[in-house]
Structure 1
Amino acid sequence: MRLFSRGVAVFLSLLTLNTQASVLADAANDHIKAKIESTLQWQVHAIADSPVRGLVQVSTENGLFYASADGTYFLQAKIYNLDEEMRNESEIALAEMRIEGLKQFENSYIEFKAKKEKYVVTVFTDTTCGYCRRLHEQMGEYNEAGITVRYLAYPRAGLSSPTYRQMVNVWCATDPKDAMSTAKAGQNVAPASCKTDIAKQYQFGRSIGVNGTPNIILPNGTVVPGYQPADQLLSTLQSTAG
């Protein structure tokens, strides 16, 4: 009985220490969050442990960063694991953020669906982007290859630009798919208004590292930062599947 009581006491002591450590970690993260937001005027979405001791991983509206545990230093970097064949730990973290974050836009996509769907890719697009237009011109080839393309908006010139207004017209059109094709052909889209989350789409894109268009997110959360013809994209998808 005495041994049992001693074991309980040790367990309770460890539990207390873990709780105290958790409280201290939360306080440190709150301090880092407040410091970044007040100093840089950036919104911090989350703070988590990083693969490197002494650093925490900081997800912000402007991308993924790292900070020292006391909040003194702020780093933009990629972390590679030399023991795991130069595995890109930063990209793994971003891929998880992309997959999770895309779930909020399930009712926002403008989707061009393949009849015999094998893969689904998400493309951040700009209606005035030359390579975005080339991709759209070849939509039939992507669909024929079994690739469903679903669009999110990323007006490269920002949320006060004419392109943003045009993309609102596209998303608010009676037939958004037809309006997208019209805009990608360089033609005017009839003015329209509705409640959209295009600003949210754009801001999410920035937070996960989108800085140009087209930006193709694969099912596993990795990114193709630019245009790929259908056969090349299919090969990429096949090589990353599973």
Structure 2
Amino acid sequence: MPKAMRIAATVALAASVTLGCTAHADQTTDKLKATLQSRLPEIQIKSISKAPISGLYEVNLGSQMVYTDATGEYVIAGDLVDTKTRTNLSEARLAELNKVDFASLPLDRAVKVVKGNGSRRIVVFSDPNCPYCKQLESTLKSIDNVTVYTFLYPVLSPDSVTKSKAIWCAADRAKTWEAWMVNHQPPASAASNCDTSVLDKNLALGHGLNVTGTPTIILSDGRRLPGAVSASELNDALTSTH
């Protein structure tokens, strides 16, 4: 066989082996997912893949990472930690899987507040009745040169929906939002002819992104910061995205 033909045959064989391994891996995880889902119907499994430990698979539940054996007979709930580096591998992997494509977010559906030159950008999913969201808004007063896009995410109570509608329908949404969250000035009632369908869209967006609590901060590089972080932590995170 000529040398060129031998090389071509070798490449083709390597490609078929690679494709076969990938297909086999997909079949294994698909079967494992089906087994676990049938036995644990109350949980929603987003994905399954091999864990760093041989014979162990990571099960992504969106807000939590658990582990299982290759048969789905057993599930381990807990963090996987690298003892050499003391890195929480579960947390790191979950953060990677939950990264958001910032450029794809519908920012026109958010309340926009620009501070300083607005060069740094974050998205926040926030409920107007969430005390930790109000704490974050107070923290943001000390953060400069940032544009904050707040998706009104009324998940706590019917009054959250009412206030979100009023804020969205205000002539100056940013001013009305800050007046309520920082200065406790209630927004005026929304006009009856105001289109508030954006709130339903925001709820669907948040559910799709697995936003399970407020506030949830999304940095411009797609990373998340859950909860009302401190000013120094937020500043460090914003600096690391540039």
TM-score under structure 2 length normalisation: 0.72
Instruction: In structure 2, give the amino acid aligned to 1:136.
Output: E
Partner in structure 1 of residue 150 of structure 2? 151
Write the distance in 1 (CA, Å) between the matches of 2:101 and 2:163.
21
Indicate how the Cα distance of structure 1 residues 95 and 31 shifts in structure 2: closer, same or farther if over 3 A, else same.
same
Partner in structure 2 of residue 194 of structure 1? 197
Instruction: In structure 1, give the amino acid aligned to 2:67.
Output: Y
Instruction: In structure 1, give the amino acid aligned to 2:177.
Output: M
Partner in structure 2 of residue 110 of structure 1? 111
Write the distance in 2 (CA, Å) between the matches of 1:71 and 1:149.
43
Indicate how the Cα distance of structure 1 residues 87 and 154 shifts in structure 2: closer, same or farther if over 3 A, else same.
farther
Residue ranges of structure 1 left out of the alignment (5+ in a row): none
Q: Conserved in 1, the CA contact under 8 Å of 2:139 and 2:230?
A: no
Write the distance in 1 (CA, Å) between the matches of 2:175 and 2:158.
20
Write the distance in 1 (CA, Å) between the matches of 2:28 and 2:177.
46
Q: Conserved in 1, the CA contact under 8 Å of 2:100 and 2:218?
A: no
State the identity %. Answer: 19
Q: Return the offset for 1:30.
A: 1.7
Indicate how the Cα distance of structure 1 residues 67 and 109 shifts in structure 2: closer, same or farther if over 3 A, else same.
farther
1:24-78, CA deviations, whole angstroms, 9 ceiling, x for partnerless residues? 2212222233334442344333333433332333333544433333333334433
Out of 155, 166, 174, which is 1:177 matched to?
Answer: 174
Secondary structure of the 1:141 match is coil
Matched, 1:56 2:57: yes
Instruction: In structure 2, give the amino acid aligned to 1:166.
Output: T
Q: Conserved in 2, the CA contact under 8 Å of 1:80 and 1:86?
A: yes
CA RMSD of the aligned region, Å?
A: 3.5
Indicate how the Cα distance of structure 1 residues 55 and 150 shifts in structure 2: closer, same or farther if over 3 A, else same.
farther
Write the distance in 2 (CA, Å) between the matches of 1:153 and 1:69.
42
Write the distance in 2 (CA, Å) between the matches of 1:167 and 1:201.
19
Residue ranges of structure 2 left out of the alignment (5+ in a row): none
Indicate how the Cα distance of structure 1 residues 22 and 190 shifts in structure 2: closer, same or farther if over 3 A, else same.
same
Secondary structure of the 1:51 match is coil
Q: Conserved in 2, the CA contact under 8 Å of 1:42 and 1:62?
A: no
1:87-102 alignment, distance < 5 Å: 87-102=87-102
Partner in structure 2 of residue 162 of structure 1? 158
1:160-189, CA deviations, whole angstroms, 9 ceiling, x for partnerless residues? x31552365157425443443354326255
Indicate how the Cα distance of structure 1 residues 101 and 113 shifts in structure 2: closer, same or farther if over 3 A, else same.
same
